[in-house]
Amino acid sequence: MTDFTAKPDVRPANPNFSSGPCSKRPGWSLEWLSDAPLGRSHRAKPGKAKLAEAINLTRKILEVPEDYRIGIVPASDTGAVEMALWSLLGARGVDMLAWESFGAGWVTDVIKQLKLENARVLDAPYGELPDLSTVDFTNDVVFTWNGTTSGVRVPNGEWIPADRQGLTICDATSAAFAQDLAFDKLDVVTFSWQKVLGGEAAHGVLILSPRAVERLETYTPSWPLPKIFRLTKAGKLIEGVFRGETINTPSMLCVEDYLDALKWADGIGGLSGLRARADANLRVFADWVAESRWADFLAVDRETRSNTSVCLKVVDPDILALDDGRQAAFAKAITSRLDLEGVAYDIGAYRDAPSGLRVWAGATIETDDLKALTTWLDWAYAAEKANLSQAA
């Protein structure tokens, strides 16, 4: 039997396993951002060229159809989702899918802020998906592709019909660049580059299908829209947003960082290369969990396990016999011990999620670092279990 009492010999070279902002790409340095046009207007030629390049590279790496618009918007993925919800919803009924905290947040916005009476909520507990066969596609549909706080993703886009009547609005922030987004089934896609590509925070990306553009140009919501949400003027799409003429002032340093990440992604094989790295990282956890006596995936179904935000739960019967507060304290003690060792930072479960661990496994994480981390997870678990026994 493996001795979990001694500290492992190999430490992760990079201990940054946060689920957002996520780890920078391998080999990243501030020196790679030296070409940023700092101190210049984003509306000057150099700034506009950088923003246009970011949009074009996004299309290439994500394999976005040519007739879809791509815009850089303020306020991270949250801003992009809110722009879509406030600008597009209300034309017909809406099905809201939620199985983790961010999806639940969009439900709150639609029910309590927009106050849509024709909204239907399909939810599921952490670790599971709602019954996707019950979604009504005569309605608009809002969902997260990958539940960042639950580690549960939709398996594919096959559950979405091609002849849907409503729009599909997809929060893909921890799925983009790591999972195969079915753009032919998606009308709105949002993400933040601080996730899979490890970019700096505060900027979001909004991708619109021709159907979404048609809705924007033919439907006016009954509520007032703040300037920051407006995507049309005089009934026409503001095309400049999708050419790099951003709604408010972007950080050109952040844009340069995003460009650096996109070029790195291009150099490792684009989307297929990024997905392969994330899939390999998920396999590390799958192999480890299969042998573990104390940990398991929060995601119940193997086909819905995230390859980016890997959420784990403690299944040791001795720990499960404790009350909820002590279970949470036990998981927190594991994360604190690893933090103090400088082995793993920011791997506690999200505050609204069940107690446990959440480890980022996206493409910027090296597989060897995750292999090393699993040995340290076993060590920290054993140390905290020993402390628990002594306290008893």
Is the CB of residue 221 less than 8 Å from the CB of residue 86? Answer: yes
DSSP letters of 263-283? Answer: HHHHHTTHHHHHHHHHHHHHH
Q: Which pair of tokens denotes residue 57? A: 């590279």
According to DSSP, residue 305 is labeled B
3 pLDDT more than 70: no
C-alpha to C-alpha distance for 156 and 153, rounded to whole angstroms: 9
pLDDT at 248: 87
Q: Which domains, and CATH codes, for the chain?
A: 30-266 (3.40.640.10), 269-391 (3.90.1150.10)
Mean pLDDT value of segment 214-238: 96
Q: Is 371 helix (H, G, I), strand (E, B) or coil?
A: helix
pTM above 0.95, yes or no: yes
Helices (H), the chain: 45-62, 76-88, 101-108, 210-218, 252-267, 270-291, 317-320, 324-340, 367-391
4 pLDDT more than 70: no
pLDDT in tens, 135-194: 999 999 999 999 999 999 999 999 999 999 999 999 999 999 999 999 999 999 999 999
C-alpha to C-alpha distance for 285 and 162, rounded to whole angstroms: 35
Give the list of residues 6+ apart from residue 87 with CB closer than 8 angstroms, or none.
216, 221, 225, 229, 230, 231, 232
